[in-house]
Structure 1
Amino acid sequence: MLRHGYLRSPVYYREYTIGTGSIQTRGTWIMHRPEHPPDFVLYYIHGGGQVLEALEGYRHVLQVVKDASKVCVSGDSAGGALILSLLLELGAQADNQEGKGVNASVRGGLTDPQPPHLALPRMATLISPWVTLMSNLHYTSKSDFLDKRTLWRYAHEYAGESMVQQQPASPGNCVDDALWRAASPERGYFVIFGEEEVFAPDIEDFLKRQAKIGVEVEGQKFDGGIHAWPVASIFLSSTEDKRLQGLRTAVKEIRRRMPEWGTLNGDKV
């Protein structure tokens, strides 16, 4: 209804088609003050895309904002997996160009052997990321609305038999500590997940692995929460405070790690 003019959006937004040739994707810019250059960009991926599309979208964001330190990459569920795949690709590009020994085959041949290097974002905020497409750490939760066997079927449809247990399609299968360090945003990761969700053990394992190699990482587990709880709670919780608790937690952490955010527009959380 917004697209056809029946309703008016309370914020400015504009839809874009990004990329050329066989690698094109669509995205939406939502801007508080479109007349001013952005002092902060949240590059959010919900899912339903491919790694090269995520990379193309990130390239577009950097062309607009001109400064990767103003960017927080974020995503939920499959979108969280795409963000991790994107970061692994950026880390591999950086290491290849700096001669640190990460082989191009680590990326699975996604891009040219010497692609233009894109700077890493300031931080990543992930909501219930699908870290590993198929993992024995996934468990059948009595509370969650997701089922691991159905998820594994979707994983095969997304990545195919040859890539379903390989990076970058399945980020959690990457065991190269040097690559993970190269892929880490400047201020690391903030990850929100629910105690009762299918992915909870795999997410906790990811947090431990990142902390072990010296990456700045913090997790927020919601007691009794299910998959993508900050999103699900908007519809399921009974009070405004509970509905917004997860989102406010994410915003607070983003502001802490990106102190420049809001200095130009004076916004409050």
Structure 2
Amino acid sequence: MSIHSKLVQAVSRKTIKRHGLNKDQTLKHLRTVFNNTPAVPLIPRGVKIRRIDLPEFKGERVSVHNPRMTILYFHGGAFVGGVTKTYHNLAARLAKQLKAEVFLATYPLAPEAPFPAATERCLEAYRYLLRLDKDPKNIVIAGDSAGGSLALTSLLQIKDNQLPNPRCAVLLSPATTALPEEEKLLAQCPTDAMLSATLVKRIIDLYLPNKEDRSHPYASPLFGDYTGLPPIMFMASKDEILYHDALQAKDRAIAAGVDVEWFARSGVCHVWPIMVPFLPEANRDLKRIIRFIRHYEPTAKSLTEHNRHSQYLATAGATA
């Protein structure tokens, strides 16, 4: 464990982790800490950030010139908060190293917009990329924490709506169930530097006020059918309260025949990979993410087939 990680965990325990809050207190607290990011933006040369505010997509595009692939990223924030600015450092490095464009999507937040508003918006963001004629074999879906849940849910929705799969998905400390086991929450609570059992329960109450919704696969993607999903990378801290969420989803994906890469690390906090370039562990593990995404790079033949299909659609539309 690096000295940087020890410092991050100490600060997280002091500023974020709370016990015994009610729903209103939880909402106010989490929006205060997640909507006021302390990260200093250190954007590599050649990476540009542009705001997008369209009916079909709201968020930001972080991109190099002439990107060769696309990443659709859903931010964390416990379904009640979070801002895309927090992810500028991570998105900029993904864009630079992969010669990519990263779409940082926003979505409706609870409790004003409870489930399923966020899940519907995330699927709409993927449809938006397809309408831009992005080759799905060159799209990666990613997210952390609540955004990791939405990324996994998006894969299920893509399948259910018979849309083409993206290349792969990267899930950082994903929340995968709204029906957590009490014993596991309490067992992991002391070692988690950011989230507590109380916070997890209150977040579920805020996001899913209708208890009947909590077992739905789009609310608890752990219960979804993973058959036919694209390759998935799971990353989780062994010390965090959502460790078992990621672990169970990983096992379910493997059982369904999904190509899975699993990585768990001790001595780091929840969603540590987003803390590049300040956290040594995040810098090292960003390289793992890059390798995973590159491993599934499509062949020249598949890209040619996509281009031919796009040309056919364009011609058909022009002559219709």
TM-score by length of 1: 0.72
Q: Distance in 1 between matches of 2:263 and 2:192?
A: 19
Task: Specify which of 292, 301, 320 is matched with residue 253 of structure 1.
Answer: 292
Q: Percent identity?
A: 26
Q: Distance in 2 between matches of 1:243 and 1:211?
A: 26
SS of 2:170's partner is strand
Q: Tell me the alpha carbon deviations over residues 128-164 of structure 1, each in whole angstroms, 9 at most, x when there is no partner.
A: 0111123114332324311122112111211222312
Task: Specify which of 147, 157, 167 is matched with residue 89 of structure 1.
Answer: 157
Which residue pairs with 2:197 in the alignment? 148
**Kept in 1: contact 2:173–2:237 (CA 8 A):** yes
Provide the aligned C-alpha RMSD in A: 2.4
Q: Tell me the alpha carbon deviations over residues 57-104 of structure 1, each in whole angstroms, 9 at most, x when there is no partner.
A: 11112222431000010000000000111111111122xxxxxxxxxx
Cα offset for 1:213? 1.9
- In structure 1, give the amino acid aligned to 2:250: L
Which residue pairs with 1:80 in the alignment? 148
**Kept in 1: contact 2:235–2:263 (CA 8 A):** yes
Which residue pairs with 1:191 in the alignment? 234
- In structure 2, give the amino acid aligned to 1:87: L
Between 208-217 and 130-139, report the one with greater CA deviation: 130-139
Between 191-200 and 154-163, report the one with greater CA deviation: 154-163
SS of 2:195's partner is coil
After superposition, where does 1:87-236 map in structure 2 within 5 Å? 87-94=155-162, 118-136=163-181, 137-138=184-185, 139-161=188-210, 162-174=212-224, 179-182=225-228, 184-185=229-230, 188-232=231-275, 234-235=277-278
2:36 is the alignment partner of 1:46: no
SS of 2:54's partner is strand
Cα offset for 1:233? 6.8
Q: 1:26 to 1:144 in 2, by over 3 A?
A: same
Task: Specify which of 64, 70, 78 is matched with residue 132 of structure 2.
Answer: 64
Task: Specify which of 25, 30, 54 is matched with residue 62 of structure 2.
Answer: 30
Q: Distance in 1 between matches of 2:122 and 2:52?
A: 14
Which residue pairs with 2:54 in the alignment? 18
Cα offset for 1:205? 1.5
Structure 2: state its 5+ residue gaps: 1-42, 80-106, 108-117, 301-320
Q: Distance in 2 between matches of 1:225 and 1:65?
A: 39
Structure 1: state its 5+ residue gaps: 1-7, 95-117, 262-269
- In structure 2, give the amino acid aligned to 1:59: R
**Kept in 1: contact 2:71–2:139 (CA 8 A):** yes
Which residue pairs with 1:3 in the alignment? none
